[in-house]
Structure 1
């Protein structure tokens, strides 16, 4: 049985509205124009539209038994069904998934925490993050259409290189 992330939109929807108390004193609207920030009448709360970001996270480190790497990635995918696909070898792995976030900074921050926060619960190898790519949905689809982006993440799941 696949579980949804708390607060995740129904499958097949591309956007949802996030509610927060302001963007913070250091938020620069000019860096993210048109992101849907609009005050709710009389509430003192802002409404922000989230976007989908395609994330590719690469990790690497000392060799680990392939069966343990696969089991760890399968556990991560089970615990977090938003993962699209994982490829692995005995000393590196690549995880690809869609993240829903207000902007690139938020999506990247979540991606950079993913491996470390779930290393013990999923029994992942003690590898370090060696690469991260976060691109918006339009860029991802443009790359695919032009034939120079990563192939669509199919089949979904955990696979050896």
Structure 2
């Protein structure tokens, strides 16, 4: 009978530290019923205040995109945090009751490689909350 190694054993053999954090670039897309633009903007500004690593947000009356860096051990942890962001801050930031319709999580190296090759979204400049 073959014994399967646990994930921890595999990582120790490969010299990977399980507790090491990495940076992940997050793009979270949300959408729903139209809301007043001023309310959407104010909500995203409050979210940026509550979540200081927010780079940029773009918004329209019925959808928004939030881009930021997240520090996490692996992609699964980064995605889990990103998927909770909108719901956990919805009431305190007074965000619209929109649903998450898209999520992209990529490592820092992949992000910079895409930018260098001319692919992917341009760097978040200017930083802040802007209309589409």
One of 64, 76, 82 as aligned partner of 1:93? 64
Unaligned stretches of 5+ residues in structure 2: 1-5
Query: How far is the alpha carbon of 1:28 from its aligned partner?
Result: 2.6
Q: Deviations over 1:77-131 (max 9, x none)?
A: 0111110000000000000000000000000000000000000000000000000
The runs of at least 4 aligned residues of structure 1 exceeding 4 Å deviation read: none
- Residue 35 of structure 1 contacts residue 102 of structure 1 at CA under 8 Å; is this kept in 2? no
Task: Tell me: higher relative CO, structure 1 or 2? Use CA pairs within 8 A at least 6 residues apart.
Answer: 2
- CA separation of 1:28/1:117 partners in 2, compared to 1, >3 Å: closer, same or farther? same
> Pairwise mapping of residues 25-64 of structure 1 onto structure 2 (< 5 A)?
28-29=7-8, 30=10, 35-37=16-18, 48-64=19-35
Matched, 1:142 2:123: no
RMSD of equivalent CA atoms = 1.5
Structure 1, gaps ≥5 residues long: 1-26, 38-47
Greater share of residues in helix: 2
The alignment partner of 1:149 has SS state of: coil
